[in-house]
Amino acid sequence: MTKSPIGGNRSGRKLGQKVKKGKLKASSRRWLERHINDPYVQRAQLEGYRARAAFKLLEIDEKHKILSGARRIIDLGAAPGSWSQIAAKVTNSSDADPRVAAIDFLEMDPIPGVRFLQMDFLDPQAPEKLKEAIGGTPDLVLSDMAAPTTGHRQTDHLRTMHLCEVAAHFAVEVLAKGGHFLAKTFQGGTERDLLNMLKQNFRQVIHVKPASSRAESVEMFLLAKGFKGRDAAASEEAAEDAAAE
């Protein structure tokens, strides 16, 4: 069971540490202080995860069981690799029998059992390369992709929503029947067309915000559970079109 840090942390490090002023800007110093005093950051270091984001996935899974039974997983926007670490563990992936494919335009240190592609997911060749790398049909597509922030909330929202939409269409293209899709989005409303597409293809579509996602952050996660299968979704769409005529 994944528990939130309570009454401090599990690393033994004292919280409330200050960063000396030195040459740092005030904003940089505040960010660094928040980072080193974040109990999830400290817990990630203690438990061997590359980033605090690991606990977002673990908390979502604790409630929604999206990792249970997953045999192959694709991780979009993977760097630095904490979600890929979890994916490799739950699928028993190994270098000899890789069951996890990951992609990011940033560099990522190797993870045993993870085939990593350093390239932009929006590259037209990326989807096919991921399919080749996974070596089978994935049961789960994860996306922690987010566009670089500009400071303009609406612009950042639209750019990240575009990545979410592209990832969703990719998931529908590759997922096994019964599989799941989880993607980062931002508060501000998910596009209606995207939600309708997901509801047509999945049995349940919800927004979630795990406790490990900072309260001041506008990030949320869009979870689509129980992929109906490409044939079922096509039949349902045909029936709706016929009813509308």
What are the distances in angstroms from CA 230 to CA 18, 198, 227? 54, 12, 8
- Is 144 part of any known ligand binding site? yes
CA 238 to chain centre: 31
Same-domain pairing of 79 and 158: yes
Same-domain pairing of 64 and 115: yes
The answer to whether residue 184 is catalytic is: yes
- Is 104 part of any known ligand binding site? yes
243 lies in some domain: no
Cross-strand bridge partners of residue 174: none
Q: Which residues contact 56 (CB under 8 A, 6 or more apart)?
A: 210, 212, 213, 221
Q: What is the pTM of this model?
A: 0.79
Same-domain pairing of 93 and 56: yes
Query: Which pLDDT does position 114 carry in this prediction?
Result: 98
Query: Which pLDDT does position 154 carry in this prediction?
Result: 76
Question: Along the chain (245 residues), what's the average pLDDT of each consecutive run of 10 residues?
Answer: 42 45 52 51 78 92 95 97 97 96 97 97 97 96 87 78 94 97 79 91 95 76 96 62 57
Contact in structure between 176 and 170 (CB atoms under 8 Å): no
Select which of 3, 25, 56, 184 is catalytic: 184
d(CA 225, CA 240): 21
Domain that holds residue 38: 12-47
The three-state DSSP-derived secondary structure of 177-203 is CCCEEEEEEECCCCCHHHHHHHHHHEE
- Is 156 part of any known ligand binding site? no
55 lies in some domain: yes
Same-domain pairing of 101 and 17: no
* Token pair of 145 as six digits: 């992709």
Same-domain pairing of 169 and 207: yes
Of 153, 167, 155, give the one whose Cα is nearest residue 216: 153
Same-domain pairing of 144 and 60: yes
Query: Which pLDDT does position 10 carry in this prediction?
Result: 41
Question: What's 171's domain CATH number?
Answer: 3.40.50.150
Query: Which pLDDT does position 244 carry in this prediction?
Result: 58
Query: Which pLDDT does position 12 carry in this prediction?
Result: 43
- Is 81 part of any known ligand binding site? yes
- Is 97 part of any known ligand binding site? no
Q: Please tell me whether residue 106 adopts helix, strand or coil conformation.
A: coil
Judged on CB neighbours under 10 Å (0-12, 13-18, 19+), 227 is buried
